[in-house]
Amino acid sequence: MLQFLKYVFATIVGIFLFTLLSFFLLIGIGAAMSSSDTKTTVASNSVLKLDLNQVIRENAAEEDPFTEILSGGNSPGQISLPQIKEALANAKIDPNIKGIYLKAEYPMGGLATLKEVREYLLDFKKSKKFIYSYGETMTEGAIYLCSVADKSYLTPQGGLDFNGLSAEYPFMKGLFDKIGVKPEIFRVGEYKSAVEPFFLTKMSDANREQTQSFISDMANNFYGEIAQARQIPMADLNNILNNALIQEPADAVKYKLITNVGYWDEFEKELRKAIDNKDDKKIEYIGLNKYLKADKLVKEGNNSNRIAVIVGEGDIVSGEGNSENIGSEKIVKELQKARKDSKIKAIVLRINSGGGSALASDVMWREVELTKKVKPVIASMGDYAASGGYFMAMGCDTIVAQPTTLTGSIGIFGVIFNAEKLMNEKLGITFDGVVSHKYANSPSATRTMNDAEKNMIQNGVNKGYENFTSKAAKGRHMSIEKLKSLAGGRVWTGTQAKANGLVDILGGIDVAIEVAAKKAKLKEGDYRVKYLPIKKSSFETIMEKFSNDQEESKLKAYLGDFAPYAKQLKNLQNLDKIQARMPFDVVIK
């Protein structure tokens, strides 16, 4: 009887939770549908509020009406580069928009992504309209973006981060030693350091050399642009960084990184002057999401002439993938559709990936090769287009990268984790069984492999490296000897890759689109840009976010600050045997 009551109670609770979730989903769907149909009217003398305290993605999904509910208000929103570009291009010629209030205290994007945003802001300034920024804190990325502002305010007691760039790798050998797991490593290339965290406790000399090289080059570009915008000699800026002279907001004003220290009321007073609001009336702010629903003033080109931008962002995996990774099947389908669509005259393959499955990368390379026989295919690199990400790009007609893009890392590795000691000695679990043939259970994670088994895997890695380098040499019209001298797993910045021939042109997505148009013989203003895959609907975003947030919140609840490392370990389960991936996780601060 007691067991029966337990089942009844569990059923009632389940029905209640399902009903509650359905109720919220219906509200969200209704809100999304009504908001998507509502056209925004822009009041005269308005200020566009550009909130960049969000994750800046290549092609974010539609606005999620459940962000606050599902995340408890602790999860940052998402914004896409195309949305920012569209809004700023429209605001530039909109007579009702007098300027921009830039809210960028901790923008969440890589250096190449932030450079794209900064270029859009600089283009907006050609209109002679103002950009004013205000923040309670400012990260390095915020200072970089706000360096283009006419006035930049930071509260008197605000936090400030301005001390240089650093790269950090987590090393797991100590953990594996403690729990009794031995990684069997197979790789080609002195600089292919993605596997180093598994068997070392610190960086190898080769990895330290390449990391110092690309960090220094990125810093020269990043701080060089700040110095130029703020009219600070580069030697003076390096002195500021090396001696940690920026400790509080007043220091930032003293050394000309920002223009003002002040509170919100003081900032709004400046805004009122800029928009000639003498009567102390409420300032008409308009957010980006609402502004995107206002009248489009930028003329669209010929709908029969399109340039497709196919976006690939995240780790490379086989199959369909999802919004967090690049599925080879999905990219192949998009390339096939674009190839057969007579309205699409050229394709830009936008890549933001540190790599992943070598097999999936090769599958996508093949589709690029087939597609460029029909119409131009241009690669545009974001923050990363390394290893498998470079594999995607190397077959394209032209490769465009930002100076701070991390690319190259042409190399292959494989890892098999031997958990025999963990199972036998730590957990008391042993394994036994039979096989029909000698290598039927090879490779195995529950026993030590013999030399013949290890050689088979290493041969596969060697073969993968030869495949990668030979195709890269062909795509770059370079001898195999020259290509291999640049390979070996070494990571390069976009600037370095342009100098050594792995990249053709320095620039962002707009430059890549211009190159595609020129190759397709399309005149400026005579074409439209179409982003693919089509963005997820609000409903799809809600369902995916609900699923992802449950997993993320559980990890964080149990492990706190160690949750990211647990996630990395979990991701190891999804690795193919052979990977084309850049150094495991480069955290640039």
Residue found under tokens 């190449």: 112
Q: Mark whether 470 is an active-site residue.
A: no
Give the pLDDT of residue 278.
78
3-state SS class at 284: strand
Give residue 500's identity as a one-letter amino acid code: N
Q: How far apart are CA 72 and CA 497, in angstroms?
A: 43
Task: Return the bridge partners of 412, or none.
Answer: 188
Q: Is the dihedral of CA 182, 183, 186, 191 positive or negative?
A: negative
- Per-residue tokens: 264: 């919100």
The catalytic position among 85, 98, 129, 192 is 192
pLDDT at 12: 53
Q: What is the DSSP letter of 194?
A: G
pLDDT at 100 over 60: yes
List % helix, strand, coil for the chain (3-state, nearest 5).
45, 20, 35
Helical H segments across 147-204, by residue range: 173-179, 196-199
Q: Which of 387, 471, 498, 535 is catalytic?
A: 387
Taking alpha carbons only, the member of 230, 259, 284 closest to residue 99 is: 284
The fraction of the chain above a pLDDT of 90, given in percent, is 68
Task: Retrieve residue 324's tokens.
Answer: 């967090």
- Is 101 a residue whose pLDDT tops 80? yes
**Which percentage of the chain shows pLDDT scores above 70?**
81
State the chain's mean pLDDT as an integer: 86
Element containing residue 326 per DSSP (H, E): strand 325-327
Secondary element (H or E) of residue 334: helix 328-340
Tokens of 196: 């180093």
Exposed / middle / buried, residue 442 (Cβ in 10 Å: 0-12, 13-18, 19+): middle
Phi, psi of 403 (to 5 degrees): -55, -35
pLDDT at 107: 95
- Residue of 211, 219, 217 whose CA lies nearest to 493: 217
User: What confidence tier does 323 reach under pLDDT thresholds 50, 70, 90?
Assistant: confident
pLDDT in tens, 114-138: 999 999 999 999 999 999 999 999 9
| Of residues 273, 269, 251, the one with CA closest to residue 154 | 251
Q: What local confidence, expressed as pLDDT, does residue 194 receive? A: 82
Closest CA to 63 of 51, 230, 558: 51
Q: What is the DSSP string of 75-92?
A: S--EEEHHHHHHHHHHHH
pLDDT band at 280; cut points 50, 70, 90: confident
Mark 250-269 as b/e (b = at least 16 C-beta within 10 Å).
ebbbebebbbbbbeeeebbe
Tens of pLDDT, residue by residue over 223-271, are 999 999 999 999 999 999 999 999 999 999 999 999 999 999 999 999 9
pTM: 0.86
> Once rounded to an integer, what is the mean pLDDT over residues 550-556?
53
Average pLDDT of the residues in 358-382: 97
Alpha-carbon distance of 582 to 210, in angstroms, equals: 12
The alpha carbon of residue 134 and the mean position of all alpha carbons in its chain are separated, in whole angstroms, by 25
CA gap 41, 106 in Å, rounded: 30
- Tell me whether the omega of the peptide bond preceding residue 183 falls within 30 degrees of 0, making it cis: no
Nearest CA to 167 out of 387, 401, 491 is that of: 491
**Closest C-alpha among 16, 152, 25 to residue 545:** 25
Give the Cα separation of 70 and 231 in Å (integer): 45
Of 427 and 338, more confident: 338
Tell me the chain's radius of gyration from C-alpha atoms: 26
Which among 78, 75, 79, 97 is positioned nearest to 88, based on CA atoms?
A: 97
Q: At 161, which amino acid appears?
A: D
Dmax over CA atoms of the chain, in Å, equals 88
Q: Is the distance from CB of 203 to CB of 169 less than 8 angstroms?
A: yes
- According to the model, what pLDDT value does residue 539 have? 46
Residue 450 is predicted with a pLDDT of: 92
The model's pLDDT over 499-543, given as tens digits with 9 standing for 90+, comes to 999 999 999 999 999 999 999 999 988 999 999 987 654 444 444
Domain 306-588 matching CATH 3.90.226.10: the answer reads: yes
Q: 3-class DSSP state for residue 412? A: strand
What's 92-151 look like in SS3?
Answer: HHCCCEEEEEEECCCCECCHHHHHHHHHHHHHHHCCCCEEEEEEEEECHHHHHHHCCCCE
Residue 493: pLDDT band (50, 70, 90) is very high
CATH topology of domain 34-162+246-291: 2-enoyl-CoA Hydratase; Chain A, domain 1 (3.90.226)
Residue (of 402, 407, 409, 388) closest to 512 by Cα position: 402
Range(s) within the chain of domains with CATH label 3.90.226.10: 34-162+246-291, 306-588
The predicted structure's pLDDT at residue 445: 86
192 is an active site residue:
yes
Cα separation, 52 vs 67, whole angstroms: 16
DSSP sequence for 496-538: HHHHHTS-SEE--HHHHHHHHHHHTTPPTTS-EEEEESPPPPH
